[in-house]
Amino acid sequence: MDTAETAGLLSAHFSAWAHLTKEEQDGMLSDTVLTRYAKGACIHNGENDCKGMLLIKKGQLRTYMLSESGKEITLYRLGAGDVCVLSASCVLSAITFEVQIDAEEDSEVLFISPLYLQSLMERNIHVECFVYKTATDRFSDVMWAMQQILFMSMDKRLAVFLWDEIAKTADDTVHLTHEQVARDVGSAREVVSRMLKYFSSEGIVELSRGGIRIINKQKLRKLAE
């Protein structure tokens, strides 16, 4: 990717760009790398992996927590144009929160060097504000995920997830396996499978190898409320 295209992406999605000097902009461009990832690839593995600030040019990433037992809890997703700073935890002195990031689709990601980002934060208040505001916004997503897991019943959590998926994709079929759904709602596959079978018996969904088709949106929405 050429320098002009990189500058265009940074200008569009990194609001502090306009507050950088020409020298600072040139420095950031020279310390920004485009990396391509295949679907399923690990982008950031948490502890001791400080990749820097990332900007998604193309694709979709999943950010999640991993327990000691290997259980995954999806926190939020990132799409084209989104910025993530939790992959640069080494420059966030007030934050010690480790996440994992995987590519859910073939993706192209820009990485801004953590060392250069830190140097900019130390001398440019606009960069520092952008980084911490972005982190705060993502923590809002994290708190929502935690609230669902801690305070919502399993049937409601699953209903909310299915409703959000069909609203997002404009498709009445959720093209995910039971294992993938379980990761997203923070539960075990067996629990999700049992609940989906219950939804099926209630005439809310139709299950197939290709996914989960919503056949009664009114019932699903009532469960999700």
Give yes or no: residues 16 and 108 share one domain: yes
Helices 217-224 and 154-169: angle between axes, nearest 10 degrees: 120
| Residue 175 in this model has a pLDDT that exceeds 90 | yes
Instruction: Note the pLDDT tens digit of each residue in 3-44.
Output: 999 999 999 999 999 999 999 999 999 999 999 999 999 998
Give the C-alpha separation, 172 to 51, whole Å. Answer: 37
Tell which of 100, 128, 150 closes a domain.
Answer: 150
Give yes or no: residues 98 and 192 share one domain: no
Tell which of 100, 120, 150 closes a domain.
Answer: 150
Residues with Cβ within 8 Å of 210's Cβ and at least 6 positions away in sequence, in order, are 173, 175
Give yes or no: residues 63 and 117 share one domain: yes
Residue 225: pLDDT band (50, 70, 90) is confident
Is residue 100 within 8 A of residue 63, CB to CB? The reply is: yes
The predicted pLDDT at position 89 comes to 77
Give yes or no: residues 46 and 69 share one domain: yes
End-to-end CA distance of the chain: 45
| Residue 47 in this model has a pLDDT that exceeds 70 | no
The predicted pLDDT at position 51 comes to 86
Give yes or no: residues 122 and 203 share one domain: no
Tally of structural domains, the chain:
2
Determine what percent of the chain is predicted with pLDDT higher than 90. Answer: 64
Smallest Cα–Cα separation from 102: which of 132, 156, 139, 64?
64
Say if residue 129 is exposed, middle or buried (CB neighbours under 10 Å; 0-12, 13-18, 19+). Answer: middle
The predicted pLDDT at position 94 comes to 64
Tell which of 150, 184, 205 closes a domain.
Answer: 150
Residue 144: pLDDT band (50, 70, 90) is confident
Give yes or no: residues 37 and 138 share one domain: yes
Residue 20: C-alpha distances to residues 2, 111, 113, 122 (Å): 20, 18, 16, 13
Quote the domain boundaries for residue 199.
Answer: 153-224
Which residues of 165-214 form beta strands (DSSP E)?
173-174, 205-208, 211-214
User: Domain containing 159 — which CATH number?
Assistant: 1.10.10.10
Give yes or no: residues 135 and 175 share one domain: no
| Residue 198 in this model has a pLDDT that exceeds 80 | yes
Give yes or no: residues 203 and 113 share one domain: no
| Residue 223 in this model has a pLDDT that exceeds 80 | yes
Give yes or no: residues 34 and 135 share one domain: yes
Q: Which of 27-31, 63-67, 76-80, 180-184 has the lowest mean pLDDT?
A: 63-67
Q: What average pLDDT does the structure give for the chain?
A: 90
Cα 15 to chain centroid distance, Å, stands at 20
Instruction: Note the pLDDT tens digit of each residue in 99-121.
Output: 899 999 999 999 999 999 999 99
The predicted pLDDT at position 102 comes to 95
| Residue 194 in this model has a pLDDT that exceeds 80 | yes
Give yes or no: residues 22 and 92 share one domain: yes
Give yes or no: residues 139 and 182 share one domain: no
| Residue 95 in this model has a pLDDT that exceeds 70 | no
Give yes or no: residues 76 and 112 share one domain: yes
